[in-house]
């Protein structure tokens, strides 16, 4: 996956590319590699599950920075908030999109949402462009206000690193090609956008179809902002697997078709999810806890579309969280 991302960029910056068609092909191949890095390398590494060696995890986690995002911001957004408050409105950033989208039945609804199942794919395609331009800056500032950077000068240091990594990324992925490739800058910028559009679509589909479907739940915390009930049961209720029999897909997307196992055991490398899944499913059935799964990726995507349509119709739920 690293080669799939890096080698096309090297070829682009070699000066041998003179045609727009080949430029787009190379950037799109890099987009596949970028998605692979996001799902199969940095994801495990930042969870601390890629290797038993913490330094291997640390440095492979920087592949997130290499593709224009930020590992520190991701660790807070994903490891802390998403995994702790899965499908909790206003707490899980994965279901807190811009106002033109609605991912939770507890979120505000507007007239545009009835069409979101049609236009959501455009926004999915823009998601990594948003990441490398504005989203990381918005989130790091918000997380500072939430108290995640409490040590002296920690926020300033992390912000400086964030800016430095982004300048490095833009330098080799966009600025150098504009200077080297003998094509109009707008063509190179469009090809760069196409790379990110492909990455955004692929990553968004894999993560979103596991949590925004008709079968999963969108629970509310109690009045003190705490979750009621068992954390493990919460993960099973808010998460769904897909394509459990596809070994190739599992390899391609870093085992994220086994989202349930990942949420229950995020510190275990994804190569073990398939064997673990049988134990998890049997245990869930033994205790009467739902174990959601779709047989194919296509059926998971279709369920996701149905949920987006439903969220575009129903008004926000007025629900009081009940004590167990």
- Res. 320 pLDDT band, cuts 50 70 90: very low
In this prediction, residue 35 carries a pLDDT of 95
- Res. 220 pLDDT band, cuts 50 70 90: confident
In this prediction, residue 212 carries a pLDDT of 94
Q: What is the DSSP letter of 292?
A: E
- Res. 317 pLDDT band, cuts 50 70 90: low
Whether 66 contacts 171, CB under 8 Å: no
In this prediction, residue 324 carries a pLDDT of 35
- Cβ-based neighbour number of residue 55 at 10 Å: 8
pLDDT in tens, 161-197: 999 999 999 999 999 999 999 999 999 999 999 999 9
In this prediction, residue 318 carries a pLDDT of 47
Mean pLDDT along residues 312-318: 72
Q: What gap in Å lies between CA 1 and CA 73, rounded to an integer?
A: 22
Does 201 have pLDDT greater than 90?
A: yes
Mean pLDDT along residues 61-68: 94
In this prediction, residue 151 carries a pLDDT of 86
Mean pLDDT along residues 250-268: 94
| Three-state secondary-structure class, residue 109 | coil
| Three-state secondary-structure class, residue 294 | strand
- Res. 225 pLDDT band, cuts 50 70 90: very low
Structure tokens at 243: 């394509």
- Res. 28 pLDDT band, cuts 50 70 90: very high
Residue-wise DSSP of 209-241: TTTSSTTS------TTSPPPS-HHHHHHHH-EE
pLDDT in tens, 271-294: 999 999 999 999 999 999 999 999
In this prediction, residue 21 carries a pLDDT of 95
Does 226 have pLDDT greater than 70?
A: no
In this prediction, residue 222 carries a pLDDT of 65
Does 31 have pLDDT greater than 80?
A: yes
Across the strands, what pairs with 293?
241
**Tokens 């205790």 sit at which residue?**
287
Q: What gap in Å lies between CA 25 and CA 310, rounded to an integer?
A: 37
| Averaged confidence pLDDT in the chain | 91
Residue 119 parent element (H or E): helix 116-130
| Three-state secondary-structure class, residue 75 | helix
Of the chain, the percentage scoring pLDDT greater than 70 comes to 95
Of these ranges, 89-103, 203-217, 218-232, the one predicted with the greatest mean pLDDT is 203-217
Burial track 282-298 (b if 16+ CB lie within 10 A, e otherwise): eebeeeeebbbbbeebe
Does 63 have pLDDT greater than 50?
A: yes
Whether 57 contacts 46, CB under 8 Å: yes
Mean pLDDT along residues 98-127: 93
Contacts of 301 (CB under 8 A, 6+ apart): 205, 209
């Amino acid at each position: 996956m690293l080669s799939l991302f890096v080698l096309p960029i090297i070829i682009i910056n070699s000066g041998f590319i003179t045609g727009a068609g080949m430029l787009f092909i190379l950037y799109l191949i890099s987009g596949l590699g970028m998605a692979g890095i996001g799902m199969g390398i940095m994801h495990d590494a930042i969870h601390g599950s890629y290797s038993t060696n913490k330094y291997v995890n640390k440095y492979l986690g920087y592949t997130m920075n290499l593709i224009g995002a930020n590992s520190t911001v991701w660790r807070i957004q994903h490891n802390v908030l998403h995994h702790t408050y899965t499908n909790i409105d206003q707490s899980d950033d994965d279901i807190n999109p811009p106002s033109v989208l609605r991912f939770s039945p507890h979120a505000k609804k507007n007239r545009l949402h009835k069409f979101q199942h049609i236009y959501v794919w455009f926004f999915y395609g823009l998601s990594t462009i948003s990441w490398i331009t504005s989203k990381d800056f918005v989130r790091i500032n918000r997380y500072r206000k939430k108290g995640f950077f409490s040590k002296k000068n920690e926020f300033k240091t992390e912000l400086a690193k964030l800016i430095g990594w982004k300048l490095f990324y833009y330098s080799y992925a966009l600025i150098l090609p504009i200077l080297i490739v003998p094509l109009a800058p707008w063509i190179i910028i469009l090809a760069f956008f196409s790379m990110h559009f492909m990455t955004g679509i692929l990553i968004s589909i894999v993560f979103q179809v596991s949590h925004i479907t008709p079968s999963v739940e969108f629970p509310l915390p109690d009045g003190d902002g705490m979750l009621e009930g068992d954390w493990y049961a919460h993960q099973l209720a808010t998460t769904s697997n897909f394509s459990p029999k596809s070994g190739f897909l599992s390899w391609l997307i870093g085992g994220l078709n086994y989202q349930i196992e990942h949420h229950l055991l995020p510190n275990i490398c994804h190569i073990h999810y398939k064997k673990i899944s049988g134990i998890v499913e049997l245990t869930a059935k033994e205790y009467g806890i739902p174990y959601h799964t779709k047989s194919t990726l296509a059926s998971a995507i279709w369920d996701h579309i149905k949920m987006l349509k439903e969220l575009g119709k129903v008004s926000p739920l007025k629900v009081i969280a009940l004590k167990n």
